[in-house]
Amino acid sequence: MLTQGFSRWIPTLSMLLVSLISYIDRNTLALLAPTILKETNLSAEQYGFIISGFSIAYMISNPLWGRVLDRFGLRWGMFAAVLFWTFASMSHALAAGFASFAIARIALGMGEGATFPGGLRAVMQTLPVHQQARGIALSYSGGSMGAIVTPILITPIALAWGWRSAFLFTGIIGLAWLIHWYFVGLRPDVRHWQPPSDRLAAKAAPRFTHARLWSFMIAYACCGLPLAFVLYSAALYLNQAMGLSQAFIGKVLWIPPLGWEVGYFFWGWLVDRMSRSGLSSQQVVWKLMTAAAVLALPLALVPWIPWFWLVMLELFFAMFLAGGNVILTIRYATQIYSPDHAGLIAGLGAGAWGAGVALAMPVFGRLFDLHRYDLAFALATAFPILGYLVWAGINLDLLRPVPRAHPGRTQGT
């Protein structure tokens, strides 16, 4: 019985691994940015545009991959996506300037758009309803794990054999996952999806005419933006503003993403616990997103903190809150829209996040070039508050005492 129970989780664990690999691939550039920018004479603003190129491609490809996975299935959809982005990641080793890095990064974004649609699709397809919230946290947590292990794995490789070898290593782990997935893909619950007997009642399909859908995408994009800001800018800030070396940064940069990892599981557990108290899931999400918006404010104070470890603690806490917001917004959307559209839901959320990152990163890069770290951190703090206010304004009716008495009101018209 225990073996059967564990077997059910194998597709979800496979999605954890693929999201872990995807974040190693994308974070390798962020980690090694101080060295790469010096050797290739790139400015922080150009670096921001390179990240923006990835984010635009990621924005476009997320809903496309979501549609593909919902329509044609996990097995070959995920195999094709990871094969493509593995070679895109390795191509960074051949880059020498702005154009080549941008092309490699755009290709990586086009492939990695399948990451979270695949994760949510696997959870909704292979796990019963009472395990799906934990499944979402588990499958998505690979991204934060990847951000944690990237400096631990990549720094020694880059110091020993140069930064180009680090991108070749990302290709090796991608190919290893493809071998693993070939065999997982033979499972009946991956090849042939049959709706489980305990599925939630039929719900609406996502429509762009739904105000609630827009509130989900805006909240996901804005409240999750500190993840990108810390991931892509922390190494530059520690190097430029605090004078720390690439070697030292590589030893400590796993700390902020650990907050992201803890946030996924803590906020997911808290939602389940509060839901058992008699509140609806939507009321729980409302209360927790309100708390997260207030707690986001201290991020703006980082440029005035002279102590390194206190800076790291605040970056940890910012990612802890942002990771929680990802879980909360996904939980909100999966309670409104049909599980049949799980891939598309995940794709729209992550795609909106990619759009936000694409717009914000060149601005952050420009501010870093000007050494206006105060404005950069203030802007990174303002985004989650803005996203929360938009989401709360559209969903204010969810605080009503008996939301389930009017099921039609949850369809997001």
Could you read off the pLDDT of 309-356 as tens digits, one per residue?
999 999 999 999 999 999 899 888 888 887 777 788 888 898 898 888
204 SS3 class: strand
Contact 210/408 with Cβ under 8 angstroms?
no
- CA 228 to chain centroid: 8
Contact 43/364 with Cβ under 8 angstroms?
no
Task: Write the pLDDT tens digit of every residue in 24-62.
Answer: 998 899 889 889 998 999 988 898 889 888 888 988 998
User: Does the pLDDT value for residue 8 go beyond 70?
Assistant: yes
Phi-psi region of 338 (alpha: psi -120 to 50; beta: other; left: phi over 0): beta
Give the pLDDT confidence score for residue 2 in this predicted structure: 44
Looking at residues 62-68, what average pLDDT do you find? 89
DSSP state of 400: S
Residue 333 in tokens = 């959307």
Higher pLDDT pick, 207 / 167: 167
Confidence label for 151 from pLDDT (cuts 50, 70 and 90): confident
pTM: 0.76
Least confident of 23-37, 92-106, 199-213, 380-394: 199-213
Give the pLDDT confidence score for residue 190 in this predicted structure: 87
Using CA atoms of 25, 97, 228, 252 in order, give the dihedral in degrees to the nearest 10. 70
Confidence label for 195 from pLDDT (cuts 50, 70 and 90): very low
Alpha helical stretches, state H, 241-306: 246-252, 255-275, 281-295
Give the pLDDT confidence score for residue 26 in this predicted structure: 85
**For the chain, how many residues are written?**
413
Closest C-alpha to 24, from 14, 35, 32: 32
Q: What CA–CA distance (Å, rounded) separates 10 from 126?
A: 9
Looking at residues 220-242, what average pLDDT do you find? 91
Give the pLDDT confidence score for residue 401 in this predicted structure: 55
Percent of the chain with pLDDT over 70: 92
What mean pLDDT is reported for the chain?
86
Residue 339 dihedral angles phi and psi, to the nearest 5° = -60, -20
Least confident of 66-70, 365-369, 397-401: 397-401
Could you count the other beta carbons within 10 Å of the beta carbon of residue 207?
12
Sign of CA dihedral 220, 223, 225, 231: negative
Residue 312 in tokens = 């790291």
Contact 142/19 with Cβ under 8 angstroms?
yes
Q: What CA–CA distance (Å, rounded) separates 383 from 11?
A: 34
Q: What CA–CA distance (Å, rounded) separates 33 from 35?
A: 5
Burial level of 243, CB count in 10 A (0-12/13-18/19+)? exposed
